């Protein structure tokens, strides 16, 4: 006879997989507890035996997405690092490459990517620490080249700057793909991202010169 | 006896005002045709006599919001222009001031501001030209200082760049106020925006030097 813990683990995984499939195919808005229960063949109540609420389930899917995107970014990042020797400023080139890779990931995984940002915790609760910890490795990829552009910045300043850099790139990718502001092709969007991130990188070098040791 | 056109005009205005009030108080998600009809005292069908669909009504409210925000930005912009003489680079200072003003507007008009970006045209239709035209004056405020930073750019390049600059700032403001990435205070967010926009401005000067005449 299988142990209860084992069955619980299996149900958890089945629910996460089923939820991810719905998000991949239709998007976060299509995710309903009732349909998930039908899909994995459990009762509605059984979902809430393994997850405290739908937020917890969605965060599990989103954390998988983060890990998946992180692996892709790291792979593309180390590939670009090898070819970066010929660049005038390898750190700026790395930031540009990361941003282009981010656009590529967003285009190829549109619904899972949107789910990362569209999900709101119910009742205005805060994101749990384990989820914030799952975000951290992706920001580390940005912090690394920033360390070269801003060697005098403190760890805390760099952490904040990496998040702001990401948010800026996310804004360009997000509004660009939404065609909210101006209908642009992915090719034009790619050029715009290069322009913005390259300017940001060069500018951080300039404004960093006024920083105290 | 009042003319039909006059009554139509009055109903249109009443609906736009009522819809704006709902967005101000509760947000775009709370807007329902049925409740609006009750609020202004007309039948549900009467709404669709003056607006082809809810999209058209929401765009009317959003266009009012754009005009309202545009007036605030222009006022703050010309106030900062007067005090910009003492700055090292007035164009960069103007861009930073615009971004800070944008943050201020977003904080003070959270729900109307979110409605501008949360609204999606139904059935994937495109935004009408009149609405795009209503967005244009706000981008002009960004294009003006860009003309000084990038005098060699074509009109088309500058138009695109202004939209990308806006999208970058919007990303930092939007994710920052959402506390999705990191819980930050408005004060810290303000400092981050200054850092990002200042770097962008200085960087555009540097990378612009390689542009052909």
User: Is B170 in contact with A165 (Cβ distance < 8 A)?
Assistant: no
- Name the band, by pLDDT with cuts 50, 70 and 90, for residue A86: low
- For residue B117, the distance in angstroms to the closest alpha carbon of chain A comes to 8
pLDDT of residue B86: 53
In A, minimum Cα distance to B189 occurs at: A164
**pLDDT at residue A122 in the model:** 86
Check: CB of residue B196 under 8 Å from CB of residue B100: no
Quick check: A101 pLDDT over 80? yes
Which residues of B lie closer than 8 Å to A, measured between beta carbons? 117, 126-127, 132, 135, 159-161, 163-172, 174-176, 179-184, 188, 192-193, 195-196, 198-204, 206-207
Query: Which residues, at least 6 apart from A57, have a Cβ–Cβ distance to it below 8 Å?
Result: A15, A16, A19, A36, A47, A51
What mean pLDDT is reported for chain A? Answer: 92
pLDDT value of position A183: 73
> Using CA of residue B104, residue A174, residue A177, residue B142, what is the dihedral sign?
positive
| CA–CA distance, A48 with A42 (Å, rounded to integer) | 11
CA distance A180 to chain B (A): 8
Q: What is the mean pLDDT of chain B?
A: 92
Read off the pLDDT of each residue in B59-88 and give the average, rounded to a whole number: 85
Cα A134 to the chain's mean position, in Å? 10
pLDDT of A25 > 70? The answer is: yes
Q: How far apart are the first and last CA of chain A?
A: 66
Token pair for residue A89? 């400023």
- What is the pLDDT, as a whole number, of residue B213? 63
pLDDT digits (tens, 9 = 90+) for A143-184: 999 999 999 999 999 999 999 999 999 999 999 998 766 678
* A85 has a pLDDT exceeding 60: no
Computed from CA positions of residues A85, A90, A96, A100, in that sequence, does the dihedral angle turn out positive or negative? positive
Q: What whole-number distance in Å separates Cα of residue B65 and Cα of residue B67?
A: 5
How confident is the model over B14-47, as pLDDT tens digits? 999 999 999 999 999 999 999 999 999 999 999 9
Single pTM value for the model: 0.93
pLDDT of residue A160: 94
- Name the least confident of A43-57, B59-73, B89-103, B120-134: B120-134
Residue of B168, B183, B201 lying closest to A168 (CB–CB): B168
Q: What is the mean pLDDT of residues A117-121?
A: 89
Q: B26-40, B98-112, B149-163, B198-212: which has the minimum mean pLDDT?
A: B198-212
The tens digit of pLDDT for each residue in A59-73 reads: 999 999 999 999 999
Kindly identify which residue of chain A lies nearest to residue B199, measuring between CA atoms.
A203
Looking at per-residue pLDDT, the higher value among A211 and A192 belongs to A192
pLDDT of residue A74: 92
Helix%, strand%, coil% for chain A, nearest 5 = 80, 0, 20
pLDDT of A124 strictly over 80:
no
Share of chain A above pLDDT 70, in %: 93
DSSP for B36-85 reads HHHHHT--HHHHHHH-SSHHHHHHHHHHHHHHHHHHHHHHHHHHHHHTGG
Q: Are the beta carbons of A192 and A176 closer than 8 angstroms?
A: yes
Task: Write down the ipTM of this complex.
Answer: 0.92
């Amino acid at each position: 006879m299988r142990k209860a813990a084992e069955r619980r683990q299996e149900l958890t995984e089945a629910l996460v997989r089923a939820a991810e499939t719905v998000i991949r195919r239709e998007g976060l808005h299509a995710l309903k507890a009732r349909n998930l229960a039908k899909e994995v063949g459990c009762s509605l109540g059984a979902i809430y035996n393994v997850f405290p609420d739908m937020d917890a389930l969605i965060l599990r899917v989103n954390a998988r997405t983060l890990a998946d995107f992180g692996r892709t970014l790291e792979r593309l990042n180390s590939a670009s690092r090898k070819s970066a020797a010929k660049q005038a400023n390898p750190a700026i080139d790395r930031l540009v490459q990361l941003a282009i890779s981010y656009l590529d990931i967003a285009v190829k995984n549109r619904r899972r990517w949107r789910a990362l940002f569209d999900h709101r915790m119910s009742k205005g609760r805060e994101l749990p620490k384990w989820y914030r910890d799952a975000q951290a490795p992706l920001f580390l990829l940005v912090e690394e080249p920033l360390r070269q552009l801003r060697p005098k910045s403190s760890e805390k300043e760099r952490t904040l700057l990496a998040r702001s850099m990401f948010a800026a790139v996310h804004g360009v990718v997000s509004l660009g793909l939404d065609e909210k502001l101006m209908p642009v092709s992915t090719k034009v969007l790619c050029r715009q991202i290069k322009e913005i991130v390259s300017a940001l990188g060069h500018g951080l070098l300039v404004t960093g010169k006024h920083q105290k040791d």
